[in-house]
Amino acid sequence: MKVLYAYRYGIIGGVSTQLVLRRRALDDAGVRCELFFSQDNGLGQVLTDREGIHFGKNIGFARLVREGCFDAVVVIDSPELLSPASGPVFRRNPVYLDVHTTTRTGLAYLGDVNPSKLAGVMVPTRYSANLVAARLPSATSIRVVPNILDTAIFSPAARAEPRDAGVLVEHGGREFVWVGKLDYHKNWRLALVYAAMLRDLLGDVRLHMVGGYTAPADQAEAFFRLAYRLGISERVNWLDRVENTALAGLYRRCAASGGAMLVTSRDESFGMAAAEALLCGCPLIANDLPVFREVLPDSPLVQRLDIWRPEQVGAAARTLEAGPPGDEVTRMHGELARRYGPHAYVESFKTLLGESR
């Protein structure tokens, strides 16, 4: 079997990193998988193996589809690629739509999608399935194909290793981490506001803001301007991109310091960064999103709350311990690995392709 995944953005993290994980899982399962990205927004610079990974314009995608002889083409939230994905008239490909966005603006394209031209629709969670079903009522089947977590890289360690994030400076106080784009959806401004509040509440704290590599200059300027206005410029460390091994080390380091990951997002389709932090034993102080109730196991490591209530965030921060209980960290890693290891994705993906044939 030979499969092609297509997506507009070749970014570091998010859907793009998920596709790299899926490609590896399918290859290990004996399924040839190739990836196509319309844009290279930094992903190409960090890939160690680019075989079967393509970047190009729509005309290049059409050529790849025509010459590749794929058994299935999966398009993720890139409607401009749906038509060429079907291939030439003499050899039509089964085309699947994979929906990962959850924002109203992001989902708007579904209003122009004809489900009768699709072999199937997939989503990473039941929460996303409900959102899509409301916009594609004529879709006969919407199947959950879960994301993959890299449980080898993101794992607990016997002790924190302060230097394993490489780019970080030594710090003796509590450390918190926030991961995401500098956009409205991820609600980055609120993270900075809470960094100031946590400083007043706990004293010596540092917030590591990870992401924003593709942020335009005016957005980056707004970030630094707000940090300065809040008086926390010296307490915020912005890392526009971090390699996964270093990121895992940062999660472990935050946990050992008595800190946590802050999740201020207005919505999520899965919550990859939150799950990866938990795999490393890093507690969460997170907005109580519906998808988190579905994806994340109940645990003392997960504090879900109304992110717009500062008193709740402050109360959650006061309960953090330096170094979460080892048995709970081990249990959490095992449960997430069971739910979202490569085997779960491959089984769901193969089942969907088999049912639609």
In this structure, how many other beta carbons lie within 10 angstroms of the beta carbon of residue 79? 14
Q: Is residue 56 packed enough to be buried (19+ CB in 10 Å), middle (13-18) or exposed (0-12)?
A: middle
CA–CA distance from 268 to each of 33, 97, 139, 191, 271 (Å)? 26, 18, 23, 16, 6
Domain extents for the chain?
2-148+341-355, 174-338
Residue with tokens 């989503």: 123
Q: How many residues does the chain have?
A: 357
CA 275 to chain centre: 9
Six token digits for residue 265: 């997002």
Q: What pLDDT score does 240 carry?
A: 87
Q: Where are the beta strands (DSSP E) in the chain?
A: 2-10, 32-40, 53-55, 72-76, 95-98, 120-123, 142-144, 174-179, 205-210, 236-239, 261-263, 284-287, 302-305
End-to-end CA distance of the chain: 13
pLDDT at residue number 171: 61
Distances 58 to 1, 6, 83, 109 between C-alpha atoms, Å: 24, 11, 10, 18
- Phi, psi torsion values for 142, nearest 5 degrees: -125, 115
Q: How remote is the C-alpha of 247 from its chain's centroid?
A: 13
Instruction: Collect all residues with Cβ–Cβ distance below 8 Å to 339 and sequence separation of at least 6.
Output: 146, 295
The DSSP bridge partners found for residue 32 are 2
pLDDT at 158: 47
Those residues of the chain that have pLDDT short of 50 are: 158-167
Please give the CATH number for the structural domain made up of 2-148+341-355: 3.40.50.2000
**How far apart are alpha carbons 62 and 68 in whole angstroms?**
10
**3-state class of 78 per DSSP?**
coil
Reference 21, options 342, 340, 350; nearest CA is 342
Nearest CA among 118, 336, 152, 140 for reference residue 244? 152
The predicted-structure confidence for 265-317, as pLDDT tens digits, reads as follows: 999 999 999 999 999 999 999 999 999 999 999 999 999 999 999 999 999 99
The encoded tokens of residue 255 equal 């946990």
What's the CA gap between 297 and 304, in Å, rounded?
11
> Is 250 within 8 Å of 256 (Cβ atoms)?
no
2-148+341-355 and 174-338: same fold?
yes
User: Is the CB of residue 154 less than 8 Å from the CB of residue 248?
Assistant: yes
Give the CATH fold of the 174-338 domain.
Rossmann fold (3.40.50)
Confidence (pLDDT) at 208: 97
CB 55 within 8 A of CB 317: no
Q: What is the pTM of this model?
A: 0.91
* DSSP of 287-311: E--HHHHHHSPP-TTEEEE-TT-HH
